[in-house]
Chains A and B, each alone.
Chain A
Amino acid sequence: MLSIQDIHVKYGAIRAVMGISFEVKAGEIVALIGANGAGKTTSLRSISGLVKPEQGKIFYNDIELTSMPAHKIVEMGISQVPEGRRVFPLMSVLENLEMGAFTRKDKNKIKDDMKKIFQRFPRLEERKNQLAGTLSGGEQQMLAIGRALMSNPKLLLMDEPSMGLAPMLVQEIFKIIREINSEGTTILLVEQNARMALSIANRAYVLETGQVAISGEAKEMAENKEVQKAYLGL
């Protein structure tokens, strides 16, 4: 479904990603794990078209995304829950969700999807007229996920959805990720919480300083000595 082929990304003189390749197959949950600064966010931003790789290619179902503008990539069925949630703070919860559906024209289906999101996150419905900037961290994360789902994506990119949340909420978020996946959305999940990520992923890639260090089946990775030592604190 998604194929990243040897991409290199620079920010000015800083080389953030130096030749990363990986694949995501339809229906999977694929985890990207690795320390801070390893290039996880940059990889997701490249897929979404927010940064342009200076080398390498990105394909989505055989369509090249590499030089496509970000707003077109959303239309292809790829949406992102960005790092740090990035809700629109001065817009209401409802307006944030509407923005998620920006590329869609099927008004009735949008309404249905909004209902589904409110069923999944009743807290958002209670607060639908509240400004998103006044929500708690957990609520903002739910809003960011709901907003990304409003585009009705086939592939959902999630950048550290559990960051800064209480353990209870982390559990909840991972449960939701699994549900979204079982309803047919493919997921590429970036996480610092490697243990949780490996527990729900089919496959995983470990990034180190802008390159793929280890990759494989998530179960095997969880038992890999190197991964355990470096990322699972065992």
Chain B
Amino acid sequence: MDFTSNFIVQLINGIALGSTYALIALGYTMVYGIIMLINFAHGEIYMVGAFVGLALVTIFKVHIIIAFLGAMLFCMLMAVSIEIIAYRPLRRSKRLAALISAIGISIILSNLVNLLVGPKPQTFPSIEKILFEIKSFDLIAGAQINTLQILLIIVSAILMIGLQYIVKRTKVGKAMRATSQDYDTAALMGINVNRIISYTFAIGSALAGAGGVLVGIYFGVVKYNMGMLPGMKAFTAAVLGGIGSIPGAMFGGIILGVIEMMTVAIGFSSYRDAIAFGILILVLLIKPTGLFGKQIFKKV
């Protein structure tokens, strides 16, 4: 394989990986947008999503599509409960209190899964057995893309377009935006602010659950601590795009995935994580509002 071909292959890998970062990053950014909390448990919600998907496919023998939707639903309900139990009582306290609570939830979830299934990686049934045979297609310069990558990218794209539709066009989505701009005034419109915050957690976490199952299918293994690193990278992606910005999280995720795989392409694969977090530090130093940061109007 020559350089161009390798470049294209890694670009595709980067977009696929970046799509999963984007799915997770959306939850960080939505929750931050509405309650100004960096939800440290979000990476673990993604991990739980992957395990729920695995359990549904292997133990309950349901179709992968049902397992996918089931994992999304489970993550929704779990995140809504977490918000009510662990964050809502702290909403009027200092922000650090809720942050610590989130870290606590993150530790509880990863340890709970460790306890239930053990620390060994669990293999996800191969997509070839449960959905379709993986075929590869030739692109230019001898580079190839396979059906699994196409699946991952398309499903992520559909979810993100769906999210954009909800947020831009539906009544709930508009209420989410209004609430994220001004709680009191949102309440004066007749918006049930608590309910809208629940919806936000539900939607963000459904996306993380979807991401978990997709990653399970794509990489073939899931593990109790798999939420940690992608969680932090997705957070980086959200900051890179501009925390609070939904398009920012989408592009930030893709850009980060591509940069990471490009690092691999030029032969620095052992530095891929360092590069990702280097970007986080650079963004925070140079442009804390990120690529799509929109601090034009001050928050009331």
User: Which A residues fall within an 8 A CB radius of B?
Assistant: 48-50, 69-71, 74-75, 79-80, 82, 84, 86, 88-91, 95, 98-100, 102-103, 133, 147-148, 151
Contacts and interface: CB of A to CB of B under 8 A. Distances in A.
B300 interface: yes
The prevalent SS among residues of B at the interface is helix
B178 interface: yes
B188 A74 contact: yes
Contacts of B300: 84, 86
Contact of B188 (A48, A75, A133): A48
Contact of A75 (B182, B190, B296): B190
A69 B189 CA distance: 12
Contacts of A50: 184, 187-188
Interface string B274-300: 000000000000000000001011001
A73 B53 CA distance: 43
Contact of B181 (A89, A98, A148): A89
B189 A102 contact: yes
B94 interface: no
Counting chain B residues whose Cβ lies within 8 A of the other chain, the interface size class is 20 to 34
B178 A82 contact: no
Interface of B: 171, 174-175, 177-178, 181-182, 184-193, 294, 296-297, 300
A210 B175 CA distance: 34
Contact of A102 (B177, B191, B296): B191
B187 A99 contact: no
Given A90-B177, A99-B174, A82 B191 contact: no
Given A70-B187, A102-B171, 15 more contacts: A48-B188, A50-B184, A50-B188, A69-B192, A71-B191, A71-B192, A74-B190, A79-B188, A82-B188, A86-B184, A88-B181, A88-B182, A90-B294, A103-B189, A147-B189
Contacts of A99: 174-175, 178, 186, 189, 191
Contacts of A82: 184-185, 188
B191 to A, nearest CB: 6
Nearest to B180: A90
Nearest to B195: A71
A1 to B, nearest CB: 19
Contacts of B297: 89-90, 133
Nearest to A51: B184
Given A71-B193, A102-B171, A91 B177 contact: yes
22 contacts: A48-B187, A48-B188, A49-B187, A69-B187, A70-B184, A70-B187, A70-B188, A71-B189, A71-B193, A74-B189, A84-B300, A86-B182, A89-B297, A90-B181, A90-B297, A95-B177, A98-B174, A99-B175, A100-B189, A102-B171, A133-B296, A151-B189
A103 B190 contact: yes
A90 B300 CA distance: 12
Contacts of A48: 187-188
Nearest to A75: B190
B190 A71 contact: yes
Contact of A88 (B171, B177, B296): B177
Contacts of A95: 174, 177
Given A86-B300, A90-B297, A91-B174, A102 B187 contact: no
Contacts of B184: 50, 70, 82, 86
Please list the 4 inter-chain residue pairs (A to B) with the smallest Cβ-Cβ separation, ordered nearest first: A74-B190, A103-B190, A70-B187, A89-B297
A166 B45 CA distance: 53
Contacts of B178: 88, 91, 99
B185 A151 contact: no
A148 B189 CA distance: 8
Nearest to A87: B185
Contacts of B171: 98, 102
Contacts of B188: 48, 50, 70, 74, 79-80, 82, 86, 148
Nearest to B188: A80
Contacts of B182: 86, 88
Contacts of A90: 177, 181, 294, 297
Nearest to A69: B192
Contacts of A80: 188
Candidate in B185, B193, B294 with the most chain A CB atoms within 10 angstroms: B185
A135 to B, nearest CB: 11
A103 B300 CA distance: 23
Contacts of B294: 90
B175 A102 contact: yes
A89 B299 CA distance: 9
A154 B192 CA distance: 21
B66 to A, nearest CB: 33
Contacts of A151: 189-190
B187 A71 contact: yes
